[in-house]
Structure 1
Amino acid sequence: MLTRIWNAVLAVLLALVAALVIAFAGVRLIGLTPYAVLSGSMEPELPVGSLIYVRAVDPSEVVVGDAITFKLESGTLVTHEVYEIDSAAREFKTHGIANVDSQGNISPDAAPVPWSSLIGTVVACVPLLGYVNAFVTQPPGVFMVIAGVAVVIGVSIVLELLSMRTPDKRVSETPAPKHMR
């Protein structure tokens, strides 16, 4: 009975792990890169804690209204909305849609984004999954995942050893047929 329960729990865990591997790494096979949303500058469209999927595009494919991910000179990644494109200067003018001034107008970013800084455009957003991604890719989360795997392996080994030591009661409890008594 305990083994059946453990096998059911293990099947659910494996399905969850497979889904997370696809969400965090498998999508790279189809040209998407996942990023966790860490600030509220694009709320409610891209809520804090979401996982966004970014597809690399040629800068000439970007249109006004696209949410783009780009790299600042400091190396920080930012995802903001394009409100103007200067093709001659090869720059995007962007803003975070939640960054508003005292009159309620969206404040533009301080500097335009050079086309060379473009990572890509946002094609999908999964709320809350960014928290999981950020957790399992940081040292405490990595250690907890490793410990979790060790626990699963340990419990599986113990259950297997117990099943080998315990005789199958079903066989001994089954009465012999009449002609064998």
Structure 2
Amino acid sequence: MFIPASDAVTQPLHLVTPPATAVPGEPAETPVAASVPRSGAHSAIAKLGDWVLNILAVFGVLCIALTILAFVGNYTIILFKTGSMDPTIPQGSVAVVHEIPATEVKVGDVITVDREPGLKPITHRVIAVEQLGGGEALISMQGDANPNPDPEPYRESTVRKVVWHIPGLAKQVVWLSNPYVLGGITLGAALLVLWAFWPRAETARRRH
């Protein structure tokens, strides 16, 4: 009886592949073990480690750049512990200052000058400048929040001009400058780098 091909019942044939036979003089093939995918938790930890390492790298480059800038360009950082420059520069701000000759100071500049021994430097706005010759200037200053000018003008040859400032960052800078905090951050970064580059057992198994 003839059955059309479209109506015939089909059944897949399971082909059995014979085992490979070793040929004399040739090495037998070694089965390749499939790589075991990492678990989700391990992958998340690895990503977090990479993210932290990237942040540390950027922070390190920034620190190096600021150090070079400080030595080459005479830039330093000052902290505002009082509110004498409110509201222009609030108390607790961090400012970057640039050392310049006193002959370049202009009325309206916010500058830092050193005072006599035992007194801390002061940062106020310039309200008057008198050139004295020989690279010196007599500078009168007043804080924006102060009702009166400073008691006496300052005779200076160099001053530090405020370039820019960040409000509310003084506490964080003081905290980071603590030697115990710096030591902890350094130790944590070293342990993180050691963990990131430590050979994994899984990698060692794949190599074997």
Q: With a CA cutoff of 8 Å and minimum separation of 6, indicate the structure with the bigger relative contact order.
A: 1
Does the Cα contact within 8 Å between 2:102 and 2:159 map onto a contact in 1?
no
- The Cα RMSD (Å) is 2.8
1:146 aligns with 2:188: no
Which is worse superposed, 68-77 or 50-59? 50-59
TM-score (norm 2): 0.64
Q: Which amino acid aligns with 2:163?
A: V
Gaps of 5+ in 2: 1-42
Deviations 1:36-69 (A, max 9, x none): 2222111222222322222222222111111111
Asked if 2 retains the 8 angstrom alpha-carbon contact of 1:82 and 1:92, the reply is: yes
CA distance in 1, matches of 2:193, 2:122: 44
Deviations 1:143-181 (A, max 9, x none): 2121122122224434554x43x2249959xxxxxxxxx
Q: What percent identity do the matched residue pairs reach?
A: 22
Question: Mapping of 1:1-181 within 5 angstroms?
Answer: 1=43, 2-23=45-66, 25-28=67-70, 29-73=72-116, 74-88=118-132, 90-99=137-146, 106-116=147-157, 118-137=158-177, 141-158=178-195, 160-161=197-198, 163-164=199-200, 166-168=201-203
Q: 1:33 deviation in Å?
A: 1.9
Structure 2 counterpart of 1:135, one-letter code: W
Matched position secondary structure for 1:11: helix
TM-score, with normalisation over the residues of structure 1? 0.72
Whether contact under 8 Å (2:103, 2:137) holds in the other structure is: no
Alpha carbons of 1:57 and 1:155: their partners in 2 closer, same or farther (altered >3 Å)? closer
Q: 1:156 to 1:59 in 2, by over 3 A?
A: closer
Q: Which amino acid aligns with 2:69?
A: V
Report how far residue 97 of structure 1 moved: 0.5
Letter in 2 for 1:80: H
**2:175–2:181 CA contact under 8 A, matched in 1:** no
CA distance in structure 1 between the partners assigned to 2:54 and 2:176 by the alignment: 20
Structure-2 separation of matches of 1:109 and 1:121: 17
User: Conserved in 2, the CA contact under 8 Å of 1:36 and 1:131?
Assistant: no
**Residues 1:17 and 1:39: Cα distance change in structure 2 (over 3 Å):** farther
In structure 2, the CA distance between the partners of 1:65 and 1:158, relative to structure 1 (3 Å rule), is closer
Kindly indicate which of the two structures has a greater share of residues assigned to helix.
1
Shift of 1:81: 0.6
Q: Name the larger-Rg structure.
A: 2
Distance 1:97 1:119 in 2: 19
Gaps of 5+ in 1: 100-105, 173-181
Query: Number of matched residues?
Result: 159
